[in-house]
Chain A
Amino acid sequence: MASHAIAGHDDGHAHTHHTTTGLDNRKIAIWAFIGSECMLFASLISTYLIYKGKSLVGPYPHTEYTDAAGKVFPAILDIPVTSASTFVLLMSSLAMVLALQAVQLKGTPLPANAGWWTRAQRSSQLWLGMTALLGATFLGFQAYEFTAFVREGLTIKTNLFGSTFFTLTGFHGAHVTVGVLWLMSLLWIDRTRGLGPKDELVVDIAALYWHFVDVVWIVIFTLIYLIQ
């Protein structure tokens, strides 16, 4: 989306362009993009809520279902497992904050008595990698959840719950996947030529996207899993 080089071919022009607000163009564009994404998830979530409890056959999210043949399907959502994956995703936002801070502080001398934590805080590679890893872990949980549901008899075709659940959480998972790829690209740039304070904006934009995707999950988790 950005028109300037994210890999930082520092051609000198990127920083000399005057803008009306003083903000970089990319910063405004990402906020407009997030605004649009809000409407995307609002539409998906609304549909989930409209269809909540309307499925004619099970499995159901929070209640048991017995089909015509007498087969019993227990409530399908595994709230403890998803709570764990939610915690992982929340922690990834913390790692993202630390990654941005590490990039901002690159080149600032460490205090003489800096302990291991202060030193660790300075490693942008550690925190970018950690964010990507936590994001990938969340995706692993989602893959586990999806396959478990299919095994238990809920597919995207089964009922309205299956269609809306897999589509909504799948859309969110796709956003996390894009975020992980984005973070890994930043990590790669960091490893090859190093990210520093001049790249703050590039990391900041990725962070805004990452936090947004995280916030969306909190809404989804609350509405699908916590509220019965």
Chain B
Amino acid sequence: MATLAAPACATAPASTQSGLWSWIATTDHKRIGTLYLWTALAFFLIGGLEAALIRTQLARPNMGFVSAETYNQLFTMHGTTMVFLAVMPLSAAFFNYLIPLQIGARDVAFPRLNAFSYWVYLLGGIFITLPILFQVAPDGGWFGYAPLTTNQFSSGPNIDFWVIGLQILGVSSLAAAFNFITTIINLRAPGMTLMRMPMFTWMSFVVQFLLILAFPPITVALVFLLMDRFFGTTFYAIAQGADPLLWQHLFWVFGHPEVYILILPAFGLVSEVLPTFSKKPLFGYNVMVYSGIMIGFLGFGVWAHHMFAVGMGAVADSIFSLMTMLIAIPTGVKIFNWIATMWAGEVRFTVPMKFAIALIAMFTIGGISGVMHSSPPADLQQTDSYFVVAHFHYVLFGGSIMGIFAGIYHYYPKITGRFLNERLGNVHFWLNFIGMNLTFFPMHFSGLLGMPRRIYTYDAGQGWDLFNLLATYGTYLLVIATAVFVWNFVRSRTRGAIAGGDPWGAATLEWSIPSPPPEYNFAQIPTVTSRYPLWDLKDPSWHEGEDSHGDTGTPGPSPLREETETHTAKALGIPMPYPTAKPAFAALGLVVMFSGLLFLRNDLFAVAMTVTLGGAAMLIGGLYAWLTSPLE
């Protein structure tokens, strides 16, 4: 929008380093965040391509566009890619980039561990994605239900890639979570109390706890599956007395908190966007914090609502049904607080704001169909049908993806120093919004008419034809929308309008420094006296007569916005972490170590041992070299 015209200063250099090696050896949270962003967007495109192929196959009855085997690989990899390689790392891109900036820190607590997390993610992502080029991609669904995924029913190498790949990706998520928990607890600027933290940092904080508590159960489930597949254990061997529900329980104890791992960062992002473009503080900040914590807490008590159809009995069904209905309350609170934030505000309908509002509307639709599933009798009708597919795409696409796009349009100027083109952004938004609804809304109908999930084709005359055709058209619209976005994203890096430090008139610390930020972030660590330090700076009396918004101190001399030009860290005497490729080397060792297991499939025991031990030696050597060298 025209009102966003920025001061005509050149963008500050993001870093004094350049070249491929500087990226491999970087320990700067902003550069690692940028790596996450590019990599996750690449995987998002791959996952989207898989979706387009799926929808092409389902466009009409009895299509032969892909075989049943390929179809299984496509839907498995679409889910796995979108969950583990696109949405989670897109959130991680924002964790990396924003958390230190929002709390007034110079970096994360463990910069090298942060680099390690990224490289494990990249290499693990490649490991799990490459097999689709050779038609041996995982084909057991993103949930990989055992015993279906045991040797007895899935004897090929497909599932091996999935089990090992997810194990590798889990290491990345856990390492990152320990890092961010420590960063948020320990590296806040003076005066940045917990209840003054920006809402994105708060929601990220909750997510890190979900990660460290939810990933171990799936790690264990995957270890069991790995042992069953490679070493002949009996964890999922029904003939030996194993419980067919063991996997489902362990998986969903992870899988349901995972849903909130995917959505809470998006909630955090729109909680930054909505106040900025409404020129009002976030309505009910405290309650927003508490409801976020409540969602995280209740998220661990609802896993078995994914399993109503297995016959757990009336008592278990009732408890999980009740817990599921309960979780709608804190979520509903958030919806209403966002609406109340906009209420009577000076709303500016920028592209990020449109995406944020779209999240509120679309997530509400997905939330309502979710509450429908919480009732076991209703769920028994809907489970395994396209109605469920419609539901979780409304919360994941309508929620997470919309929120992440809001975040990308909002923070692109901070990251690159330039705006994304507003007109192309509007085209992207509307195509995306229409395409999403055209894709997923008809699935409610085909689902209620009985169309099951995960079938590669269907017969005509069951009333599903029109809805499937509409959904496929919608997907093609999404492909066009994404192409517009990619074009905008790439082009604006060099052609976008110069943004300046605080292009949107936002309130939090990340906007007090130049765009893109200097490598040390803050020349002087700021002192914080309220939740909205930049609004205080503009007009200390802006919130008179309202509640205090965490403002308890008297604003002292603040170094905010003192900088007019950027210096090098050296000139300012700020110690910076040395660039080092040791974390990347250790990450490579980890992936090599795990991939040695693949050779067991062909009884190449010696090769497997050599590769695994070689990888372990690389990992341990890399770790020792890294831990015994100074950080800065």
Contacts and interface: CB of A to CB of B under 8 A. Distances in A.
B235 A163 contact: yes
Interface residues of A, number: 44
A199 B227 CA distance: 40
A156 B233 contact: yes
B512 interface: no
A159 B240 contact: yes
A202 B192 CA distance: 28
A1 B178 contact: yes
A87 interface: no
A1 B575 CA distance: 21
Contacts of A32: 177-178, 181-182, 212
B224 A167 contact: yes
A167 B227 contact: yes
Given A32-B182, A35-B212, A47-B235, A7 B628 contact: yes
A11 interface: yes
A160 B174 contact: no
24 contacts: A3-B112, A5-B627, A5-B629, A5-B631, A7-B628, A11-B631, A20-B186, A23-B186, A28-B181, A29-B178, A32-B178, A32-B181, A36-B178, A36-B215, A39-B212, A39-B214, A47-B220, A47-B224, A47-B235, A47-B246, A160-B240, A163-B234, A167-B227, A185-B624
Contacts of A71: none
A43 B212 contact: no
B234 A5 contact: no
B240 A13 contact: no
Given A9-B629, A29-B178, A167-B227, A50 B186 contact: no
Contacts of B212: 32-33, 35-36, 39
Nearest to A155: B232
A39 B257 CA distance: 14
> Range of interface residues on chain B?
35 or more
B631 A20 contact: no
B25 to A, nearest CB: 15
A4 interface: yes
B107 to A, nearest CB: 10
A182 to B, nearest CB: 11
Contacts of A47: 220, 224, 235, 246, 250
Given A5-B629, A13-B575, A25-B109, A20 B187 contact: yes
Contacts of A157: 231-234
Give the most central of B109, B214, B250: most A CB within 10 Å.
B109
Nearest to A36: B212
Contacts of B575: 13
A159 B223 CA distance: 17
Contact of A11 (B186, B223, B233, B632): B632
A78 interface: no
Contacts of A126: none
Given A19-B187, A44-B220, A156 B227 contact: yes
B241 A40 contact: no
B241 A160 contact: yes
Interface string A1-42: 111111101010110000111010100110011011101101
B514 interface: no
Given A3-B109, A3-B631, 14 more contacts: A5-B627, A5-B629, A6-B628, A13-B630, A20-B186, A20-B187, A20-B192, A28-B185, A36-B174, A39-B215, A47-B246, A55-B240, A159-B241, A185-B624
Interface string A35-62: 1110110111001001100111000000
Give the most central of A3, A19, A40: most B CB within 10 Å.
A3
Contacts of B232: 156-157
Give the most central of A19, A20, A35: most B CB within 10 Å.
A20
A55 B242 CA distance: 8
B531 interface: no
Interface string A145-166: 0000000000011011011100
A166 to B, nearest CB: 8
A51 B234 CA distance: 11
